[in-house]
Amino acid sequence: MVWTLERGARLSPDGTVRFSVWAPRVQHLTVQSVHPHWSVAMEREVGGVHTAIVRGLSPGDLYSYCLDGTRIRPDPVSRWQPEGVHGPSAIVDPSAFLWTDHEWKGRAVRELILYELHCGTFTAEGTFSAIIPYLDYLKNDLGVTAVELMPVAAFPGTRNWGYDGVHPFAPQTSYGGPLGLKTLVNACHEKGLAVVLDVVYNHLGPEGNYLNEYGPYFTDRYHTPWGWAISFDGDDSAEVRHYFIDNALHWITEYHIDALRLDAVHGIFDTSPKHILQELGEAVHTQANALGRTILVISESDLNDNRIITRRDEGGWGHDAQWNDDFHHSLHVLLTGERRGYYDDFHSLEHLRTAITDGFVYQGQDSLYRQRPHGTLSRHLPGERFVICSQNHDQVGNRAYGDRLSTLVPFPALKLVAGLVLCAPNIPLLFMGEEYGEPAPFLYFTSHTDPALAQAVRDGRRREFAPFAWVEEIPDPQDLSTFARSKLNHGLREQGQYCALLRFYRDFIAVRKRSPALHNCNKETLEATILPDSALLLIRRWQPGADEVLIVASFASGERSVQVPVPKGHWLKTLDAAANVYGGTAGVLALPTVLDGNVSRQMTFTPYAFALYWRAPDAR
C-alpha cells in the first residue's frame, strides 16, 4: 500500500478539504481564512488530533489555525508558505503536477557521483528553475549522476543555507515553491540525473518555529549546538516520530526525490527500543518498494558509528551510505597543514591510506580532539556505504571567510585531490564550483526578520572565531553582500586554468565510469601503499576478469625522484594531471607513457603529481 499524507490540508477532487493537525497543547482550534473570510471550528479527538472538513476551496487558497482563540499560526504540515514562514499556509494539490518521469526508477548507490549545490547561490537568479539550463552541463560536460540539493524547507526571509528551516513540508517560496521544485526534479530525471535532498531532523530554526505551541515536539533532556533537541523518545513522542517519518515519505512520494541526506544525525537522540533512524530508514525503503523505485537514505554523522550503515539483518539501522569526514580531514591536513579543532586528529599519509582502505580512520583509537576513544570498525563494510569529498558546504562555509580549497592550495594540488576523491572505492561528492576551481567564497548567510535574532547570529559568529585571531572582520551573515559574494561565477570555467581543471574532472569521471576496476567500490580488490620517505601513495585497484589500474599520487610540494615498484604487467598511462591539456608544465619531467613490471623504476614527480595507469585484462 502506497503511503499518503494524512495530516495538514488534504484536498479532494470535489473541492472538499480535510484539515488535520496534532495539537495536544491546544484545547480549541479553528481553521480560518482572511480573504475571503471564513472560519470553521475543528473537532478535538482523543490524543490531541484536531480535524475539520471545509467545502468550496481550491489549490492556492490560504488558511491559518487559531489556537485557543488568541494566536494565529500557520499549519505545522503546510505544503507551501507563499507569504513567508509567519504567514498563512496555502492549499496544494499534490496530484496536479504532470510528471513525465514514469520510466525513471532511480539509481543504485554505487552509481552515484554526487554534485552538492545551494539553490540560492548556484545561479544568479537563485531559483529551482534557473538550475535547469545547467543540467546538460552537469550530466554531459562534467559527468555527475546525481544533484544533491542543500535543504529547501521554508526558512525566514530569502537567504539561508537551509538549516534554519521551520516548515519541513514546504519548499522555499523564494526558490520557486512546490511547482518549482517538482519541475526541477522532473527535468533532472529526464536528463538521467538522480536528485538527493538534504533534510534536517535534528532541529528546526528559531524564527517561525511554532511547533512547540501545538505539541511537545522538543525536549530539554538533550542538548544540540542548534538549541532544543527534537523529542523522539519522550512523552507523546509517537506523533513526533510520525511527523518526521511522514516528512521523509512526503519528499520521496510527492516530489519523486531519489535519496534523502539526513543532516547531522549525531544530533538526533533516541533511547527507544527501535531508534528513529532505523524506523525512518525502514519506512523509506518500504515506500520505495511500493513505488517501484530505488530510493536511498544517506546520513551525515561524526560518530564513526558503523550501526548506521550496517544492514538491519546484521543488527544495524540499514542506511545506504553515510558521509565519511575522516577522508576529508586526512586529505585537508596533508595539503594545508591546518591543525585546529578536529584537524588535530589527522596528521599523516597513513591516515589517508586508512580512509581509502577502511573507511573510518578512527575505529576505537584515542582521539586528541575528543579526549576519548572514538569510532568503530569499518574495514568490513562495502566501500559504497561511504560518501567522500575534498570539499562540501560545511568544510568551506564553516570557515570564517568561507574560503574554498582553490584559494588555499596550489593549482596542481587541486587535481591531486580530484583524482583521489574519484579513484577511491567510495561514492564521490563534488561541491558546486570545485570542478573548475571557483575562487568565490561560500559564506554563512541569513535573512532573519527578527532584529534581535539577527544580532545574536552576528555576535555568535564573532565569538565562534574569536580564538582564531582572524585579522579581517567576520562577514556579517545578514548583509546582502555576504550572500552575493557566495554566488558562482560560471563563466570562469571557460577560461585558462579553470577550464583545464574542469577538463581533468570531466576526463577522470569518464575514466571512472568506463573502468570496472574504478567503479566497483570493492575494498577486497584494492591495495594502497605508502613508499617510505617519499610522500608518495600508490593505489592499485582491479576487477577480476576485467581491467586493473595503478594510481600514483605525490603529496610532495616540490619535485621528487622516487624508486617506484611497478606491479607485474604492461601499464599504459591513461591520465596525467601534469599534462599540458590539464594546465600542467611537466615537460621533460613527464611521467613515462608505458610501465613494464615486475621492476622497480626511478621516476621523477612534479609537485603534487597524480597519474593513472591502466592495464587491460589480457595484459599479463
Q: Which residues are catalytic?
A: 263, 300
Q: Which helix (H) or strand (E) holds 17?
A: strand 17-22
Collapsed DSSP state (helix, strand, coil) of residue 16: coil
Q: By CB neighbour count within 10 A (0-12 exposed, 13-18 middle, 19+ buried), where does 619 fall?
A: middle
The DSSP call for residue 489 is -
Q: Which helix (H) or strand (E) holds 322?
A: strand 321-323
**Strand duo 296-299 + 49-54: pairing:** unpaired
Calculated CA dihedral for residues 45, 50, 55, 60, nearest 10 degrees? -160
Which grid cell is 546? 576485467
The DSSP call for residue 591 is P
Distance, in Å, from the CA atom of 35 to the CA atom of 418, rounded to the nearest integer, reads: 55
End-to-end CA distance of the chain: give it in Å, rounded. Answer: 54
Distance, in Å, from the CA atom of 160 to the CA atom of 447, rounded to the nearest integer, reads: 7
Instruction: List residues bridging with 386 in a β-sheet.
Output: 322
Instruction: List residues bridging with 167 in a β-sheet.
Output: 154
In single-letter form, the type of residue at position 412 comes to P
- Phi, psi for residue 518 in degrees, rounded to 5: -85, -30
Of 133, 222, 120, 206, nearest to 171 by C-alpha is 120
- Beta carbons of 134 and 128 less than 8 angstroms apart: no
Where b means 16+ CB within 10 Å and e means fewer, 251-286 reads: bbbbbbbbbbbbbbbebbbbeeeebbbbbbbbbbbe
| DSSP string over 231-267 | -SSSTTHHHHHHHHHHHHHHHHHHS--SEEEE--GGG
- Beta carbons of 90 and 62 less than 8 angstroms apart: yes
In single-letter form, the type of residue at position 407 comes to T
Distance, in Å, from the CA atom of 117 to the CA atom of 40, rounded to the nearest integer, reads: 42
Distance, in Å, from the CA atom of 467 to the CA atom of 91, rounded to the nearest integer, reads: 48
- Phi, psi for residue 192 in degrees, rounded to 5: 85, 20
| Other Cβ atoms within 10 Å of 546 Cβ, number | 13
Going by C-beta distance under 8 Å and a sequence separation of 6 or more, which residues neighbour residue 516? 543, 546, 547
Distance, in Å, from the CA atom of 490 to the CA atom of 130, rounded to the nearest integer, reads: 13
Distances (CA, A) of 260 to 4, 178, 386, 548: 18, 17, 15, 33
Calculated CA dihedral for residues 105, 109, 114, 119, nearest 10 degrees? 50
Which grid cell is 535? 610522500
